Structures are given as C-alpha cells and as structure tokens.
C-alpha cells in the first residue's frame, strides 16, 4: 500500500491538514476490499480524487473506471445510461445499448452527486448493490455484474432521507464506509500552499512570471471563507494571473477578487442548507393571508368605532378624522378597504348627512337608528345604479367612480339583481 506522501504527489493533492490525511488513509485502507464507499463534503473540495485513489490501489485497477455525474443526466434517460436498454424500449431506441454497469463489469463506477438520483433509479441501484443483478430498460432478462461502487454527494443525506428524497436503505448500503473531506475554510494552513501551486500552474500555462502574494495578501487569503472551496481558490488564482500586470500583489489588489469580503460573516456549515425546499412559496402565501386577516380585523374594529360614534355630538373635523383613520392607514390592504367602502362606511355617513338636510324636527340619532337597516341597503343600490347609468353600463368606469374593484362591483350587481342599463 502506498504511503500518504506518495499518494498526494501522484494525484496532485496538496495539504497537511489532519482531517485531509485521515480521509486519504481511510481511502487507502478500503481500497483492497469491495466495500461500498460514500464520499461526503461540500462542492469543490475535491471529492473526485477519492474514488480514483480507491480504484488505483485495488485489484480492479486494470479494469474499467467510469465516473458518472448523476445530476447532469436527465431523469428520463438515467436508467438507460446506467443499465442499458433494448431496441424499441422507447422512442429513439433504435438499437440495443449497454449501460455503465454492464461496461464496467469487473471495474469501478463512481456515482458523483448520487443524491440527485430519482427514486425509481435508486430502487434499481439498491438491487445491484444487494445482488449484483440488473435489468436493461425494455427487457425482462436479468443480468449480473461485478462492479465496485463509490458514490459522492454534497447533500446532507439524513436531511434528504427525512424529506423522502433519498432511500434510507440505499444510504446504508452505499455508506458502509463514509469518507468526509473537510471544507477549505477548515484547512487554513493549506490555503497558501494551494495558491502557490495554482499560480505556478497558470504561469506555465500562459507563459508568464509566477504570481506572488505579499504577507498582508496571504493573511487576507486565509481569512476568507471560500464557500466555493478549492475550485473557487483555483479560479481566483487564474484571474489574478491573467488580469494583474504586477507579479507581486498586496491585500488591496487581492480584495476585489474576493466577493463580499467586506461584509462577510463566518459561514454556517451544514446548517439546513436546503431551506428553499421548505415550501417557501407556500409560507409566503400563508403570511399574506394571515396579514390580510389581521388587516380585516383592524378595519372592522375601526368601522365599528365610527358607527358607534354619536354623530350629532362630534364636529365635522372629528368625523373626517375617523374616516382618515380607516382609509389613511397604509398598512391595511386595498382589498379590505374596497370590500367595506360601499357596504359599511360610506352609506353610514351619507345617510346621516341626508337626514340632517331633510329636517331638523326629529332627533338625529333616533332617525338613524330607526331607518338604518333600510337606508344602508337602499343607498348602496342607488349609488351603484347611478354610477352604472353615468358610465353607460361600463363596469370598469363605474367601479373606479365608486372606489371599488370591478370584481366587487360585478358581485354586487349579481347580488342585487341589477340591470346595468337602468338608471
């Protein structure tokens, strides 16, 4: 078995972090067996190196090694890619085709992003792991294969299982041995080493002097969180090598290449990364409905407050203030205001005003109390009829005049059985 230093040199792995060394040691130990391995870690940490190390240090190293990106293959064709298909199995299947499990018989298959596999494909994969058997798409013939499976994912698998996106039995079959690669922010001592390696590679590639960092730039480099991990560091090194004229850079020159460096906060690792899967749209809808319910309750309270006022004992300014209290509140939804404008508030005030103009011989409050049920309804119907007459039956124009939505007006026309042409 090769030692760690030789493995790092052979596969271009740079770093002295203890967690990284532990992951490489586990890969070397399981290589000689046929145990299924699950490689976990964030995107960009170099998970693809582990299955190659396992394959090259196993008895299968002279046979096929196939790497499959499960997230890049459409759901409708993934079964055909992995297990093959028979001629005529589906539209476009003009001939028989061997799948990866058939081609890699005796070798190793690396299933990258295995958490993206459809549930139906997971069932087929579980059968291969348990019995070594598979069936081509469109066939009934059972075939055997002897394949070593190494899988990788950047998902938190237990969360995926809880959300019914990944089968629990398949997870336990794949993760007989689990190898976790640490994120770059947990390998701060390795960041300058990796940057120098990338800078040297790009200097050779683009035939230019090697880029170097001053002390303050190296400190800035190690303080950054590197959410994209090694892949992001490599991209930054390439950008600097190509775009910067000076070959020795300070922190001031480096900072623009590190996104959000100024406002960056410590990253939360594996902290429910997939909150977007928590039905965010449904939560927003619930919140809107809850706010509308609250607004309607507030509007009803304010309307009741207005209706309970002794209109004969308050001034016109106070009346206007109560009206503004209802319609001047910007936090109330327009739907709530539209819904009550004609049915409650306006008829109440206008009915009171009309009674005052007609006569002073009767007690004002008594008149309102006696005729309120009839006057409210009649007044509303009368206002709608007049608005329709003035607009010549055009509901949109009438609704704008009344200060309500066209849908509300249409509902009231149906409710009161009004002829839109009558005046």
Q: What is the distance between the alpha carbons of residues 163 and 33, in angstroms, rounded to a whole number?
A: 32
Cβ neighbour number for residue 351 with a 10 Å cutoff: 19
- Asked whether the predicted pLDDT for residue 22 surpasses 90, the reply is yes
Mean pLDDT of 72-77: 90
Give the torsion sign (CA, 413, 417, 421, 423).
negative
Give the pLDDT of residue 359: 44
pLDDT at 229: 95
Least confident of 127-131, 189-193, 256-260, 365-369: 365-369
Beta bridge partners, 109, equal: 66, 149
CA gap 346, 333 in Å, rounded: 18
Look at residue 332 in the predicted model and tell me its pLDDT: 45
Kindly tell me if the per-residue pLDDT of 36 is higher than 50.
Answer: yes
Specify burial of residue 190 (Cβ count, 10 A radius: 0-12, 13-18, 19+): buried
Residue indicated by tokens 């030692």: 3
Rounded to two decimals, the pTM is 0.61
Task: Say yes or no to pLDDT of 26 above 80.
Answer: yes
Q: How far is the C-alpha of 67 from the C-alpha of 104, rounded, in Å?
A: 10
C-beta neighbour count of 317 within 10 angstroms: 7
CB-CB neighbours of 100 under 10 Å: 20
| Range of lowest pLDDT (22-36, 261-275, 306-320, 407-421) | 261-275
CA distance 70 to 395: 56
CATH H-level superfamily of 4-182: P-loop containing nucleotide triphosphate hydrolases (3.40.50.300)
167 closest CA partner among 122, 105, 134, 209 = 122
Dist CA 51 CA 48 (whole Å)? 6
pLDDT bucket at 397, cuts 50 / 70 / 90: confident
What is the predicted pLDDT for the residue at 320? 62
Let me know: does 93 contact 139? Beta carbons within 8 Å: no
| Burial degree of 108 (CB within 10 A; 0-12, 13-18, 19+) | buried
**pLDDT tens profile 219-276:** 999 999 999 999 999 999 999 999 998 899 999 999 999 987 644 444 444 444 444 4
In the predicted structure, residue 348 carries a pLDDT above the cut 50 = no
Per DSSP, what are the bridge partners of residue 65? Answer: 108
- Residue 342 buriedness (CB in 10 A; 0-12 / 13-18 / 19+): buried
Please name the residues in contact with 338: beta carbons below 8 A apart, sequence gap of 6 or more: 403, 404, 405, 408
Cβ density class 233-244: b for 16+ within 10 Å, e for less: bbebbbebbeee
More confident residue, 263 or 41: 41
Average pLDDT over residues 140-147: 95
SS3 content of the chain, % helix, strand, coil (to 5): 55, 10, 35
Strand, coil or helix: what is 15? coil
DSSP 3-state of 76:
coil
**Cα(122)–Cα(146) distance, integer angstroms:** 18
What topology is assigned to 187-257 in CATH? Helicase, Ruva Protein; domain 3 (1.10.8)
Least confident of 54-58, 195-199, 276-280: 276-280
- Domain ranges for the chain: 4-182, 187-257, 280-416
Q: Which tokens belong to 348?
A: 């109440």
pLDDT of residue 370: 42
Query: Residue range 409-413: average pLDDT?
Result: 83
pLDDT, position 211? 92
pLDDT at residue 315 in the model: 63
Q: Convert 255-286 to b/e letters by CB count within 10 Å (16 or more is b).
A: eebbeeeeeeeeeeeeeeeeeeeeeeeeeeee
- Is 143 or 261 the better-scoring residue by pLDDT? 143
Of 264 and 12, the one with more pLDDT: 12
Q: How far apart are CA 353 and CA 25, in angstroms?
A: 90
Query: For residue 374, is pLDDT > 60?
Result: no
Q: Give percent of the chain above pLDDT 70.
A: 72
pLDDT score, position 349: 45
Top-confidence residue, 117 or 409 = 117
What is the CA angle 358-362-366, rounded to 5? 110
Confidence check: pLDDT of 9 > 80: yes
pLDDT reading at 190 higher than 60: yes
Q: 213 pairs with which residues across the strands?
A: 249
Please state, rounded to an integer, the average pLDDT across all residues of the chain. Answer: 81
Length in residues, the chain: 423
């Amino acid at each position: 078995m090769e030692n760690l230093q030789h493995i790092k040199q052979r596969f271009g792995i740079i770093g002295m972090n203890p967690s990284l060394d532990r992951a490489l040691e586990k890969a070397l130990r399981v290589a000689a067996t046929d145990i299924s391995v699950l490689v976990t870690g964030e995107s960009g940490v170099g998970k693809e190196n582990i299955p190659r190390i396992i394959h090259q240090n196993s008895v299968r190293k002279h046979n096929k090694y196939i790497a499959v990106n499960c997230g890049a293959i459409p759901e409708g064709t993934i079964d055909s890619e992995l297990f093959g298909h028979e001629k005529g199995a589906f539209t476009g299947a003009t001939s028989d085709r061997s799948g990866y499990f058939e081609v890699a018989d005796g070798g190793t298959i690396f299933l990258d992003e295995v958490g993206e596999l459809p549930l139906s494909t997971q069932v087929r994969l579980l059968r291969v792991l348990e019995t070594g058997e598979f069936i081509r798409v469109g066939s009934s013939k059972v075939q055997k294969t002897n394949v070593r499976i190494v899988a990788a994912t950047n998902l938190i698998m237990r969360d995926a299982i809880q959300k019914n996106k990944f089968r629990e039995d398949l997870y336990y079959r794949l993760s007989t041995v689990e190898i976790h690669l640490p994120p770059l922010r947990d390998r701060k001592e390795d960041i300058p080493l990796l940057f120098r390696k990338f800078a040297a590679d790009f200097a050779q590639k683009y035939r230019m002097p090697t880029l170097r960092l001053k002390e303050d730039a190296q400190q800035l480099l190690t303080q950054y969180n590197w959410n994209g991990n090694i892949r992001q560091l490599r991209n930054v090194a390439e950008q600097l090598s190509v775009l910067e004229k000076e070959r020795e850079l300070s922190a001031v020159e480096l900072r623009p290449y590190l996104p959000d460096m100024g406002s960056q906060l410590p990253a939360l690792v594996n902290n429910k990364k997939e909150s977007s899967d928590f039905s965010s749209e449904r939560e927003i809808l619930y919140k809107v409905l809850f706010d509308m319910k609250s607004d309607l309750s507030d509007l009803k309270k304010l309307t009741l407050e207005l209706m309970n006022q002794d209109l004969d004992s308050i001034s016109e300014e106070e009346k206007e203030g109560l009206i503004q209290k209802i319609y001047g509140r910007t936090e109330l939804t327009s739907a709530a205001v539209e819904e009550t404008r004609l049915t409650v508030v306006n008829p109440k005030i206008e009915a009171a005003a009309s009674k005052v103009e007609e006569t002073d011989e009767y007690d004002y409050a008594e008149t309102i109390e006696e005729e309120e049920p009839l006057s409210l309804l009649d007044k509303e119907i009368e206002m709608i009829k007049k608005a329709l007459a003035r607009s010549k039956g055009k509901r949109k124009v009438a609704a704008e005049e009344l200060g309500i939505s066209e849908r509300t007006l249409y509902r009231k026309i149906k409710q009161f059985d009004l002829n839109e042409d009558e005046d």
